Structure formats: structure tokens, C-alpha cells
Amino acid sequence: MTIASFLLGLIIASIPACAFNFLVAGNLRKLLVLNIFSWVGFWCGQLVAIWRGWSFLKIGPIVLGVDLLFALVFIALGFWLTNFQPESKKKRR
């Protein structure tokens, strides 16, 4: 994999994360976290696609179909983890 395809993968993986953050009106911290989750999911999808020999929507060395599916799953996971609120203890009277 070349540096150009790696950078193209980072840009492609950032698009759904930025769009999701825009649609749910997130802040800058969530944008950074969702981008990191998207990048990790994208490259995990790339590794799984190469390992299994899948070639769904292949663009050069990047298996775009599988990578985007993994990125979307990781974005959903990141969104769920960033919205986790611990329960507050009830006050006794």
C-alpha cells in the first residue's frame, strides 16, 4: 500500500464521520473522536477484506465497500461510547 492510497483512505474514512457529526450537531471533541473511530474501523475493514479475499467496490488497493461498512459500524460505536452518561446517585431524604 502506497502513502497516497493511505492518505486517500484517511480522507474517505473522514467523510462519513464528518457527515454524521454534522447531522447530529456534535462538537469538535466528538468530531475528533468519531474521526479516530472511523479511521480505525476503515483500516480494520481493509485488513479483514485482504485477509478474507473480498473485493467489494475495490479502488486500487483499497476495498472501499467493506472498509466503509466497518467505518460506519465503528462510528456508531464511537457515538454510543461518547454519549454514555453514568447514573447519578439518588439523594436520600
Separation of first and last alpha carbons in the chain: 64
Q: What's the CA gap between 55 and 83, in Å, rounded?
A: 34
Q: Tell if the pTM clears 0.75, that is, is over it.
A: yes
Q: What's the CA gap between 3 and 85, in Å, rounded?
A: 39
Number of C-beta neighbours around residue 73 at 10 A: 15
Q: Where are the alpha helices (DSSP H) in 1-93?
A: 3-23, 28-52, 64-82
pLDDT in tens, 74-86: 999 998 888 877 7
Determine the average pLDDT of the residues in 50-73.
90
> In a 3-state reduction of DSSP, which class is residue 86?
coil
pLDDT in tens, 1-34: 789 888 988 999 999 999 999 998 778 888 999 9
